[in-house]
Structure 1
């Protein structure tokens, strides 16, 4: 058989397969793929992913919004302690948020991993800044009212300059993540809270 004849025969056989289809009958009933859906990355549930991302800042946000009550504190030492405890709770919340964010896993959509990195960077920066303010408060001299007042004023000024991550805004920049966030319980919870001051 010549090369041309072999090529023609192969082409005819291929055509028969494509046009005639498979003649083998497969028994059984169709069913879903038994392989489990991935828990992260492509093919994973975007709502579950968004829920984990939003959940990473809920603890910190709640801590920041639970403002200390100074009305029942009798002296400057008490004010210092209450403020230090409040700042410590925020720092702990930021640390917990970083741990939770580390466990979020790869995003199921383009741009999601970059949003997580952005949130993580701000959580780390915020933790360092809140910790620095706590150190400043802890070092305040309560025996000198004027010096203590100046320390508190400096602490307040530093707190006002701290930028915290706006997770919902970052997710809103990614259409698929935004749709997922609207269905995620932690994101809805976050949306119901005012941003931390």
Structure 2
């Protein structure tokens, strides 16, 4: 799987999370990041193999987090407010994990890889902050009014726009060829 295809999938999954944020449920499972590159043909430096395995592991985590069942929104505004707040909280928690894991990818073994992490981190941080702001608006409101809903929607729209901008910027990044080839030998990047 090519690097750009992985990155596009990765960022679009985040965009999908934004769309599904209002109706997600917790996802059980185990972490997908590999502690070390195990059982792979050692053709590339261990640091590159491990970096790619963990880079793709972050993407896999986002994919797994985005595969949630859609809950029916409540008709009662008080219940709907609580549901939306809870779902935004889960989304913020997912992004906190992703941002932490991205932080573990630096320093990267090559400047281009470091740039990729920096760009994704910058945009996900902005989006995470907008989701957190939307949750705070909901939590601070006594009830779900039109004004509250408009403020929440504005923050969600800003977060979605930030995700779309990340896709654009990621399309301009190219990892070194040895990273791309190393990714083809790691389970997290190949799905094996």
Q: TM-score, normalised by structure 1?
A: 0.56
Root-mean-square deviation over aligned CA pairs: 3.5
CA–CA separation in structure 1 for the residues paired with 2:148 and 2:172: 39
Provide the C-alpha distance between the structure 2 equivalents of 1:105 and 1:154, rounded to a whole number of angstroms: 32
Q: Which deviates the most, 135-144 or 173-182?
A: 135-144
Say if 1:68 and 1:83, in contact at 8 Å, map to a contact too. Answer: no
* 1:50 maps to which of 32, 52, 56: 52
> How many residues of Structure 1 are paired with residues of Structure 2 in the alignment?
147
1:183 aligned counterpart, secondary structure: coil
* Cα pair distance change 1:43/1:141, threshold 3 Å: same
Q: Distance in 1 between matches of 2:124 and 2:69?
A: 20
Q: Which has the higher helix share?
A: 2
Contact 1:109 1:177 (C-alpha < 8 Å) held by counterparts: no
Residues 1:78 and 2:79 aligned together: yes
Max radius of gyration: which structure? 1
User: What do residues 44-100 of structure 1 show as CA deviations (whole Å, max 9, x unaligned)?
Assistant: 3423211112223443454345364134x3411221222111211111111112222
Structure 2: which 5+ runs fail to align?
1-43
Alignment of 1:151-162 (within 5 A): 151=151, 153-162=153-162
In 1: Cα distance, 2:76 partner to 2:184 partner: 46
| Alpha-carbon separation, structure 2, partners of 1:117 and 1:92 | 20
- The TM-score, its normalising length taken from structure 2, stands at 0.58
- Provide the rounded CA distance (Å) in 1 between the counterparts of 2:172 and 2:52: 11
- Residues 1:67 and 1:174: Cα distance change in structure 2 (over 3 Å): farther
Q: Which has the higher contact order (CA 8 A, sep 6+)?
A: 2
Contact 1:51 1:184 in 2 (8 A): yes
SS of the aligned residue for 1:108 comes to coil
What is residue 22 of structure 1 aligned with on the other side? Answer: none
